[in-house]
Chain A
Amino acid sequence: MSDHFDIAIVGAGPAGGNAALTAAQSGLRVVLLDEQPAAGGQVWRGKSPSILSAPMTPETKAGNDLRHAIDQSQINHMSGTRVWDIRRDGDKWSLQILCDAQSLQITATSVILATGAREYVQPVTGWTTPGVIGLAGATALFKQSLSLPGDKTVVSGTGPLVFFVASEIRRLGGTVAAIVTPNTRADWARALPSMLQHPKLLARGGVWMADLMLAGVPILWGHAVSKVCGDDHVTSVQTQALESDKQGPIFEADSLCLGHGLIPQIEAAQMLGVPIHHDPALGGWVPDVSPDGVTPVKNLYLCGDGCGIRGALAAGLQGTLTGARVARDLGKTAPAPSIRAWQRAAGFGKAMTGLSIVKPKLEALTSDDTILCRCESLKRSDIRAEITTGAKSTNAVKSGRRAGMGPCGGKYCQTVIAALIAKETGKPIGAIPPSTPRPPLRPVPLGQAAGDFHYDDLPIPKPAPL
């Protein structure tokens, strides 16, 4: 297949999905590429078709509405599809994709990246023990397969997600041993004014809290997990009070959901030349982009959490703004939606993101023995040794120690390594950019990257001088 589209959109979450709908309504040919079996992204994730009946959450409903609208539209929605490379090819973009184990190439005049976010976990001793999963990872389990992380679970982390995850575990019949959150009640009080803008979301939070309190689930405010115990599986979880450094209770549990906020996935934007800057209030390194998705790179647009963590509601609105902007830029008439609604939603989302800015006391729980790079089993002491002998950048640490050269490509270690370099060298975190992203955007089997070929057709250039 070699097909040309007006717009190729990478990611079918709230941002990409809405961008696709808006652009398609203006009559443009849109292809929507997404790794998941159904549209909706992480927050509006669809249920596995094997699950016939399940309680309806607002996220499921929003996701169902989006999926229905996409089905009814002219959008060419390619699910289960991996985009592994995007290149400028003359006046268009060329995208390499994997779909049904087939390697395909499509082209598009404009590209919208709606690549979303990934979870950040501040490493702590034992965090790589089987039985520990991310908070966001846990929500994916609930939404897609209604399965639980274990029989008895400690739920720990920042922002509202801890309460949602704990309440979902209870709703699905599991036991929550405790909620352990580095946030204090004062942190939440500071976020309250922004939350009041969205009474419905605030009310849902109230329902989760009421349920957890009625069930007598212990909530440890201003606490964090200090150690995960267990050899081949989680057996217990130690906690610590952050301000006083006093040891907190130890909870027996077979599982731990752990997460400290979200990080924008910027690698594709970076690879295509979009400049980035550091903004802790938006989750870290974010690309330079306007509210309606325009970047300094011609015909490349960004929207959603991939340009800063503002939450699903804001992502959907920015998707609409961006879809309309691209349509106008391609000569179609499309209404220019007001950015006020997006700004309001973004204010709420940023208040939630602010709850996950890593506190120094939380950072201090990462010890020299803690593994920072899972792929290469590198401890903090290994990385520190590399820094103290002269590596002053994430690229230098990567070269010297392979931190970021494993299958994850640095997605799980670069943030904490950059923070460590900043600390050891006395530089601001904004002076330590992430390591240079490399294609492919996702690992791709060599045979599929190479594609079908005949040896005699390989374009062998003339050999090197003798």
Chain B
Amino acid sequence: MTDQTHYDIAIIGGGIMGCSTALRLASGGMSAIVLDQGDLGQGASGVNAGTLSLQIKRVKLMPYALKGHHLWEEMGDAVGFAKTGGYTLAFNAREAEMLHERQTMKAKAGAPIEFVSNNRLRAAEPNLTQKVQAASFCPEDGYANSSLTGQYYRGRLQDAGIPYREGCKVTAIDQGAAFTLHTAQGKITATRILLAAGAWLKPLAALLDVDLPVNARVNTVSVTERMPPLMSSVIGHATGLLTMKQKANGTVLVGGGWQGLGTPQDGRGTVNTATVKPNLALAQYAVPALAKARVTRSWTGFEANVPDFYPLAGALPNVPNAFVLGCVRGGYTIGPYIGQLMGDSILGREPEMPLFDPGRDFEKDTI
């Protein structure tokens, strides 16, 4: 850690968004510091299901997701990356219709998604239920190990010489010629600030009298003990309410955005048994042999969003030199890339793809 207390930019939030932006800014010559109220990469970045699936990305975010996929592939073993391909399943006629409609639009947006026959599906995934009505496949799909996020970015920041402080909650921000951040570890001044605190963006922006309409979803993930091979690709459901993959060590990770309880302001969320049960039931319906696998842990993570479910990425309204990055649906996949775009924008460069104005009217379809 350095004795310096003034930085070109202070980044509040040490998840994927904050860290990837910090790396871009440092490579562009800015002095940056990353502050996190807890440990690096222990929020949504570190507790999500790690699914890297183009089949569950929003159509308009597909170009960003494709770029994100390439960055994850480059990070490789250090983040537990595996490109397995992924199947999305429909179990009845209504779901089959939804699958066709949605995946066709995503394919048009650039994702290499195709519909596959039952025979091909069974040859690839013999442990799947016989009750599949329709299935799509994307060879780009796979996963990374989200619990390695903190370890990975800690190393990257250290290698880049970027200071970071963990357990360093920002309690107040003074505006003047520079920003003065009051933290659990003393004062820090910076010419610019980037708010990248995920589900905690709303209380953070409130320190600057900005009201961001940020809500938090409480997504649940469960994992089983090590099992013999049951599936070799990422398995999803037409509604998006199941994502499942078996890791190299044999554990099976089950997600799908089922909602737990709690709010970011109250601290950590908690699992809601009433929603874990149908999540697990759906997993068992898809792969019946999972019934015998013991569930060892279920947990939740806060996923932030705004009413139009598009990212906040750009200048914070009405506060010069303050920026915000967050609320990216599919943020794990897209995070490393949109952080680079955010960094370029702060460096005064034209980003490769457009950012998302945090000052837009969220009730209108402006994206």
Contacts and interface: CB of A to CB of B under 8 A. Distances in A.
Partners in one complex: yes
Interface of A: 85, 87, 94, 96, 271, 386, 389-393, 395-396, 398-400, 402, 405-407, 409, 436, 438-440, 443-447, 449-451, 453, 455, 458-461, 463-466
B257 A464 contact: yes
30 contacts: A87-B273, A389-B154, A391-B151, A393-B166, A398-B147, A399-B147, A399-B149, A400-B147, A438-B271, A438-B299, A439-B271, A439-B297, A443-B294, A443-B296, A444-B294, A444-B295, A445-B293, A445-B294, A446-B224, A446-B284, A446-B291, A446-B292, A446-B293, A453-B278, A455-B131, A460-B278, A461-B259, A463-B238, A464-B58, A464-B257
Give 9 closest A-B pairs by Cβ, nearest first: A447-B291, A400-B151, A443-B294, A450-B281, A450-B280, A399-B147, A438-B297, A390-B154, A453-B281
Contacts of A463: 98, 238-241
Contacts of A398: 147
Contact of B294 (A407, A458, A461): A407
A399 B293 contact: no
Given A450-B284, A466-B58, A409 B296 contact: yes
B53 interface: no
A384 to B, nearest CB: 14
Among A271, A390, A405, residue most surrounded by chain B Cβ atoms (within 10 Å): A390
Contacts of A407: 225, 294, 296
A436 B271 CA distance: 13
A410 B291 CA distance: 24
Nearest to B285: A455
Contacts of A461: 241, 259
A446 B151 contact: no
A446 B298 CA distance: 11
A271 B299 CA distance: 11
Contacts of B167: 392
B41 A399 contact: yes
Given A436-B268, A466-B58, A449 B277 contact: yes
Contacts of B98: 463
Nearest to A96: B273
Given A389-B154, A393-B39, A395-B39, A451 B291 contact: no
A450 B238 CA distance: 20
A399 B47 CA distance: 9
A268 to B, nearest CB: 13
A459 B291 contact: no
A465 B309 contact: yes
B367 to A, nearest CB: 11
B91 interface: yes
Contacts of B39: 391-393, 395-396
Interface in B34-80: 39-42, 46, 56, 58-59
Interface of B: 39-42, 46, 56, 58-59, 91-92, 98, 102, 105, 131, 147-151, 154-155, 158, 166-167, 223-225, 238-241, 257, 259, 268, 270-273, 276-278, 280-285, 290-299, 309, 329
A229 to B, nearest CB: 29
Contacts of B102: 466
A445 B291 contact: yes
Contact of A460 (B150, B239, B290, B298): B239
Contacts of B299: 436, 438
Given A439-B297, A450-B284, A396 B225 contact: no
B25 to A, nearest CB: 20
Contacts of A391: 39, 150-151, 154
A458 B150 contact: no
Contacts of A450: 277-278, 280-281, 283-284, 291
Contact of A400 (B148, B158, B276, B329): B148
B292 A447 contact: yes
A406 B42 CA distance: 19
A396 B272 contact: no
A409 B299 CA distance: 13
A402 B224 CA distance: 14
A393 B36 CA distance: 14
Nearest to B105: A466
B295 A440 contact: yes
Given A389-B155, A395-B39, A447 B290 contact: yes
Contacts of B297: 405, 409, 438-440
A359 B285 CA distance: 52
Given A390-B158, A458-B282, A463-B241, 7 more contacts: A389-B154, A392-B166, A439-B273, A446-B294, A450-B283, A460-B278, A465-B58
With a 10 A CB-CB cut-off, give which of B131, B149, B239, B294 has the most chain A CB atoms.
B294
Contacts of A449: 276-277, 280, 295
A446 B56 CA distance: 25
Contacts of A436: 268, 299
A46 B36 CA distance: 51
A194 B40 CA distance: 47
Contacts of A453: 277-278, 281
Residue among B239, B268, B281 facing the most chain A CB atoms (10 A cut-off): B281
Contacts of A444: 294-295
A447 B284 contact: yes
Contacts of A392: 39, 166-167
B19 to A, nearest CB: 13
B294 A400 contact: no
Given A386-B151, A447-B290, A459 B278 contact: yes
A386 B273 CA distance: 33
Nearest to A393: B39
A446 B59 contact: no
A399 B280 CA distance: 23
A87 B277 CA distance: 14
Nearest to B166: A392
A389 B224 CA distance: 29
B277 to A, nearest CB: 6
B279 to A, nearest CB: 8
Contacts of B259: 461
A449 B222 CA distance: 11
A82 B11 CA distance: 46
Nearest to A442: B294
A458 B268 CA distance: 27
A436 B291 CA distance: 26
A396 B353 CA distance: 34
Contacts of A455: 91-92, 131, 285
Contacts of B56: 464
Contacts of B148: 399-400
B37 to A, nearest CB: 12
A153 to B, nearest CB: 32
Contacts of B241: 460-461, 463
A400 B273 contact: no
A119 to B, nearest CB: 21
